[in-house]
Structure 1
Amino acid sequence: MRRELLPRDLGFEVQAGDEASLFAWFLASFLFGNRISQALAARTWEVIVRQHGRDTPARLCACSHAQLVRMLGEGGYRRYDESTATRLSQLCRTLVDEYDGRILGVFEASRDRADFERRLLAFRGVGPVTLGIFMREAGPALYGEG
């Protein structure tokens, strides 16, 4: 069985109260949760975050659909690039419109961990796999587990 990629493989650690690391891991988890290889998902994350500086929901929302498709393609994410671009756009728009553009906004609006997870699952394109990947690292940071 192959080892799952971790935030440190992408050059950061998820820290409690650190919006930048939480969003970086949420975006990575979103990409890892899709049906492409971890290597392509990691490369695509690098393209979006490191090469294009789209490291916040607001910066990601500033991209047009065509720009998102192009970035996904640069990362090698070709098979689902159109639908993934749409889901990414909706994801960041929901974060900006409903949660002050912050993963911590989702956390602060939640009554408890179950409510936080339910809210994340409400994002289009976030299913149980993506949630599991995200919470593996974010759960201990947010809820002091582990």
Structure 2
Amino acid sequence: MHRELLPRDLGFEVRPGDEASLFAWFLAAFLFGNRISHAAAARTWQVIVREHGCDTPARLCACSHAQLVRMLGEGGYRRYDESTASRLAQLCRTLLDDYGGGILGVHAAAGDRAEFERRLLEFRGVGPVTLRIFMREAGPALFGEG
């Protein structure tokens, strides 16, 4: 069994009220939540965020489907690249259209942690594994738990 990935493994910390770190971790959780090696998921996150600068929902939404597929492939995320690219675009579009562009918007719309988690699970491609990974680090930042 491998150790669970942490934000610091990717070069950042999740901080309360910090949309950039919350979205970075949500993107990482989204990638790590699929059945793919941790190494490929981490590399893909680095490619998307660090190499291509797609570190916000708006920047990811500005990418074409082909660009998203190419970035996923560069990171080694080839097995699910087409479907993951579609889900990633849809996730970012929902954040922009329904939640003011980010995770803090989801938090503001939700009355409590249970509602927040329910809203995240409504995103296509976000299931229980992705939610668990994300909330492990984001829960304390968003809800003062720890």
TM-score by length of 2: 0.99
Correspondence for 1:31: 31
What are the ranges of 5 or more consecutive residues in structure 1 without an aligned counterpart?
A: none
Correspondence for 1:65: 65
AA matched with 1:103: I
Correspondence for 1:116: 116
Aligned residues between the structures: 146
State yes or no: 1:92 paired with 2:92. yes
Deviating 4+ runs (over 3 angstroms): none
Correspondence for 1:22: 22
Correspondence for 1:143: 143
- 3-state SS of the aligned residue for 1:15? coil
Q: Output the CA distance in 1 between the equivalents of 2:19 and 2:124.
A: 21
AA matched with 1:138: A
AA matched with 1:58: A
Correspondence for 1:56: 56
Q: State the Cα distance separating 1:2 from its structure 2 match.
A: 1.1
Q: State the Cα distance separating 1:79 from its structure 2 match.
A: 0.6
Deviations 1:101-144 (A, max 9, x none): 11000000001000000000000000000000000000011111
Q: Percent identity over the alignment?
A: 84
- 3-state SS of the aligned residue for 1:115? helix
Q: Output the CA distance in 1 between the equivalents of 2:112 and 2:145.
A: 14
Correspondence for 1:12: 12
AA matched with 1:116: F
**How large is the Cα RMSD of the aligned pairs?**
0.4
Q: Output the CA distance in 2 between the equivalents of 1:40 and 1:16.
A: 28
Correspondence for 1:79: 79
What are the ranges of 5 or more consecutive residues in structure 2 without an aligned counterpart?
A: none
Deviations 1:73-120 (A, max 9, x none): 000010100000000000000000000111000000001000000000
